[in-house]
Structure 1
């Protein structure tokens, strides 16, 4: 029994001395419960609303104030024409628009007052929930404004769903799945490339060659870049001809942005390979440590606007977030490339930083 207790103590000492094991055992559950608890939410929050109110009467102002006061919506713009609403939707500045009919207050008692709710349906479930919440608020304000005993027909807002009127879920998950697949495949494959050279003993040959370390790193990425491009074409063909998700925008720019994201993912994998010592560690970091944040914090499944501010800040450093936003704009909304320059700029900066850090971390001598 004493020998058994001695072995148990030895194992405890081994675990306590290994900081990485302690981090996985005690730190990972904390991170997971926080991410799953706050990021996984189907609640409607922080919806950016624009209002077109040609009548500007007491009833419409009351409805707008009630919408803005709710915890779900924030009125950020007043529109002057329907064309403005379309422009703001395409630029990604608003998530929903409320359009009132003319002489809304006068027509309220005759039942002729009309309201249109326009929502971005690239995420069909969220668009339906947003329209439902706004409809409830409008109905409650209408009921409050009517004198006691007066009965008129209820206002049924006309709901218009942009970009996805058929409410197909594929329009929502295809851009997210594209980002997840390309990120995991590219990062996972390249993360083990340099580590494999270390474990097999062929790194010495590379280090004594006249090739500069930067070109060694880039040479590791080129084959995977070509293979990832083949994967990209396959994904696009399946999305269009099997899942029936059309490419509404420019196919050229969609491929160009995808290639930029592939390069970012490859650079991230190369960085992982330079800081890890074994293939197992590289696979764990690239697979486990990247998959969960990419799924939860990139906007692939759950809207970023509904997350706490701290998680929204963390999501800004996840490359897949910007790629998914760009794909939704180019592929689903069909916007011009000028409206995707922000995402392209951020991905470009990430690519340069990751390659630079990978070069700095690359060791010219084996330990």
Structure 2
């Protein structure tokens, strides 16, 4: 046991001496969580728009004032004719143009109907759709203020209530996904590189013929990264709570246990990658390219799995990150307990056992 503890200490010393490893372990996670939290968002603020007001009456001026007063839009310019619309979009200066029809106020009084054309730049469909929805919401609110004294015989008023994320903050979606990506990539990549480095330098065989058993060597190699990955998880959760105001509705203890389970599964996957990699470069490429794209695309982090083709939905079931994102969102946002996420936990546990068993078998074949 003393030899085993000494071996683990040696691995810690080796990690702390390697500045590149420390940067990957601690610098990259912090940079990614801050980048995703601040820079990547599906919300709109101060979007530049243009106005084509062919009517120029009191009503259109009031509507334009209400739009410019909102935090969502900034009126970049006023244009005089419809032929200018295409040129402005080609310049890329604005994301939308509001086109008020001629005699807007007269038509509103006479026919009880007037038209505003919302023209958006749909090169980014999601942003274009969001802009149109926000403009419609402002116009509906203004229309309601005009008709507040009218009595309608029958009226259906839909009322929407957003559960778990009433303010529709995009950070609530990105933090669980970024935490999953960081723990998966850092854990798998660092483990695969660490063990592959020993194989590449020819020192792994020396370790295996030492008094330590092969399984002790493997566990000793992995244990420091379990500890360091837990620190990463704590840092991510602390940043998300105090900087991005991410709520943790559920048990922190359950969140910690589930995170450790996912970390162990990622480390086991890293060991498995090291068994098929002869060099550190190969291990890093498999860890980064082979894991990053599936984790981002097939985990439900950005794109809903239910909208994917059936074959991709089936493939997503073998991605551990998919199940961890469901677990972490359930705990942090919904406040659920183990009784609601036991199935996902068992699937993740089964994957972890499978990766470990396959890794041990591969190591016996190649190194024992």
Task: Indicate the TM-score class for this superposition, using the shorter chain for normalisation.
Answer: 0.5 to 0.7
**Whole-angstrom CA distance in 1 between matches of 2:330 and 2:227:** 25
**Whole-angstrom CA distance in 1 between matches of 2:234 and 2:347:** 24
User: Any unmatched runs of 5+ in structure 1?
Assistant: 1-41, 43-124, 133-150
TM-score, with normalisation over the residues of structure 1? 0.58
Per the alignment, in what secondary structure is the counterpart of residue 165 of structure 2?
Answer: coil
> Equivalences for 1:68-79 in 2 at 5 Å?
none
**Whole-angstrom CA distance in 2 between matches of 1:359 and 1:337:** 30
Structure-2 change in CA distance of 1:292 and 1:365 (3 Å): closer
Name 1:247's counterpart in structure 2. 248
Name 1:315's counterpart in structure 2. 316
Offset of residue 199 of structure 1 = 1.3
Per the alignment, in what secondary structure is the counterpart of residue 284 of structure 1?
Answer: helix
The answer (yes or no) to whether the contact 1:213–1:364 under 8 Å persists in 2 is no
The RMSD of aligned alpha carbons is 2.2
> Equivalences for 1:171-320 in 2 at 5 Å?
171-320=172-321
1:26-66 Cα deviation digits (max 9, x unpaired): xxxxxxxxxxxxxxxx9xxxxxxxxxxxxxxxxxxxxxxxx
Offset of residue 203 of structure 1 = 1.3
Offset of residue 363 of structure 1 = 4.4
TM-score, with normalisation over the residues of structure 2? 0.57
**Whole-angstrom CA distance in 2 between matches of 1:292 and 1:152:** 55
> Equivalences for 1:116-135 in 2 at 5 Å?
none
Structure-2 change in CA distance of 1:222 and 1:336 (3 Å): same
1:200-247 Cα deviation digits (max 9, x unpaired): 121121121233322222221100000001101100000000010010
The answer (yes or no) to whether the contact 1:329–1:340 under 8 Å persists in 2 is yes
Name 2:339's counterpart in structure 1. 338
Name 1:36's counterpart in structure 2. none
> Equivalences for 1:99-110 in 2 at 5 Å?
none
Name 1:165's counterpart in structure 2. 166
1:250-284 Cα deviation digits (max 9, x unpaired): 11101110110000000000100111101110000
Structure-2 change in CA distance of 1:329 and 1:175 (3 Å): same
The answer (yes or no) to whether the contact 1:260–1:348 under 8 Å persists in 2 is yes
The answer (yes or no) to whether the contact 1:193–1:220 under 8 Å persists in 2 is yes
User: Any unmatched runs of 5+ in structure 2?
Assistant: 1-41, 43-125, 134-151
**Whole-angstrom CA distance in 2 between matches of 1:327 and 1:361:** 31
